[in-house]
Amino acid sequence: MTFRMTPRGNSVPTHPLMTQSSAPASHESSAPNGLSQTPLDQWHRDAGAKMVPFAGYEMPIQYGDGIVAEHQACRNRAALFDVSHMGRLRFDGDGAAEFLDHVLTRRVSDLGVGGVRYSMVCNADGGILDDVLVSHLETPSERRFHLLVVNASNRAKIIQWLTPLLAEFPTVTMSDRTELTAMIAVQGPLAIETCKKLLSFDPARLKNYQARITDQFAKPVIVSRTGYTGEDGLELIVRAEEANRVWENILLAGRDSGFIAAGLGARDTLRMEAGMPLYGHELSETVDPLTVGLKFAVNLADRSFVGDAALRKIKADGPQKTRIGLLPEGKRPAREGSDVLDSNGTKIGTVTSGGPSPTLGVPIAMALVDRERGSDSEYQIDIRGRSVVARPTKLPFYRRPVS
């Protein structure tokens, strides 16, 4: 058998995302293999994580309890994820919102302080360069800025893409704060209640897709009610040197409630069940947001931005493809790249993500298929040479119970 494990001393406390001053030395370390390590790297190793290369980082794919246990902890209690590999870009200066308006598929200029919005960065053809979260934040000293959280694998590309576009906005500055900060996701039904004990601001007062700056034992932290698991929860951004303290504090506060650390493996099964797209799988430069069923992430009304003309045309003509959810029969998971066939055996699409669903106990898959075949009542998936019948199902596969 072969393993194919493939598969992140001032009077006012400073925070690399909250100060405009030039950056202190990087806290991110680099291993001899050229991969970066997050500030929590040693913690992961001490906890027995299996580390794998991911988007230029060494990241925990799972800890000792395994992916299923970590997945279930998140669904039933809460789990902590080190997502420090995600890129964090800060935008300052007059016109920052207008600049972001120009490069994102949704409006930013009407995003109030404390607002967070999911959006796309598209090229002129409407192809997706990245999917991002943009936040509008205010520091304790009342300085406002925008934060863009980008995929780890796209960070360098996005900086390279935005840099020339910034030339037209001379008052706007972009700074990459990824290596100076750490990002921790606390996700699950008990996440908010437990984090409440640790923060000066009650995170229950945040609505979904809201964020603010508060502190954790007198150290600044950006708290955002967002996530990538389908559960309620928070994403925290702290200074790199605070990462271990905050991480351990949350684990300690949640110990009696069964909080555990979870790796990228569980993060992937959780987001798949929640029907959330992942860059490099559902999303890429060869598809546009309308094709992959993310119409909500594109606002074409009375505005212009990079890619808007192409997206208007795609909207008028109708996308060529559509994203669907599939339930393959039997126990054998359909994996990314498998052909999707119609009942006559003709190829009509491709599986973009697939695997076992720990919550449902059956395999699930997302696929991109020809649009006119998007409402078929039955499909087949070619799993390494064998056809398996697959039933279409509405996305998401899992929706959290309304509390």
Partner 1 sequence: MSRDSKQLRYAETHEWVDVAEENGERIATIGISKFAIEALNDLVYMDLPEVGRKLAIGDEFGEVESVKAVSPLYSPVAGEVVAVHTELPDNLEGLNEDPYEFGWILKVKLDGEPAETLMDHATYEKQCAQAG
Which residues belong to the annotated binding site for substrate? 235
Residues 219-258 close enough to bind partner 1 by CB under 8 A:
none
Query: Nearer Cβ to partner 1, position 383 or 395?
Result: 383
Helix boundaries (H) for 254-292: 264-273
**The only residue of 1, 25, 218, 301 in contact with partner 1, by rule CB under 8 A:** 1
Amino acid at 3: F
Query: Nearer Cβ to partner 1, position 175 or 357?
Result: 357
Q: How far is the CB of 3 from partner 1 (least distance, A)?
A: 6
**The only residue of 275, 333, 349, 374 in contact with partner 1, by rule CB under 8 A:** 333
| Coil, helix or strand at residue 104 | strand
Phi, psi of 330 (to 5 degrees): 85, -165
Query: Nearer Cβ to partner 1, position 222 or 272?
Result: 272
Secondary structure element (H or E) that encloses residue 350, with its range: strand 347-356
Cα separation, 229 vs 269, whole angstroms: 8
Q: How far is the CB of 6 from partner 1 (least distance, A)?
A: 7
Query: Nearer Cβ to partner 1, position 49 or 199?
Result: 49
Residues 261-290 close enough to bind partner 1 by CB under 8 A:
265, 268-269
Cα separation, 69 vs 64, whole angstroms: 9
Q: How far is the CB of 67 from partner 1 (least distance, A)?
A: 4
Distances (CA, A) of 141 to 13, 19, 212, 348: 10, 10, 13, 56
**The only residue of 312, 315, 335, 373 in contact with partner 1, by rule CB under 8 A:** 335
Task: Tell me how many residues contact partner 1 (CB under 8 A).
Answer: 23
Name residues whose C-beta falls within 8 Å of residue 63's C-beta, 6 or more positions apart in sequence: 44, 47, 48, 49, 50, 70, 260, 261, 262, 263
Query: Nearer Cβ to partner 1, position 331 or 394?
Result: 331
Query: Nearer Cβ to partner 1, position 58 or 235?
Result: 58
Residue written as tokens 């405009």?
20
Cα separation, 352 vs 286, whole angstroms: 13
Q: How far is the CB of 345 from partner 1 (least distance, A)?
A: 21
Q: Does 355 bind partner 1 (CB under 8 A)?
A: yes
User: Which range binds partner 1 by CB under 8 A, 167-175, 227-235, 305-313, 329-337?
Assistant: 329-337
Cα separation, 124 vs 150, whole angstroms: 19
Strand order in the sheet with 211-216: 211-216, 219-224, 233-239, 181-187, 79-82, 260-261
Query: Nearer Cβ to partner 1, position 1 or 301?
Result: 1
CB of 380 closer than 8 Å to CB of 389: yes
Residues 49-88 close enough to bind partner 1 by CB under 8 A:
61-62, 66-68
**Residue 332: closest CA among 259, 263, 387, 264:** 387
Interface residues toward partner 1, by CB under 8 A? 1-7, 61-62, 66-68, 265, 268-269, 331-333, 335, 355-356, 358, 363
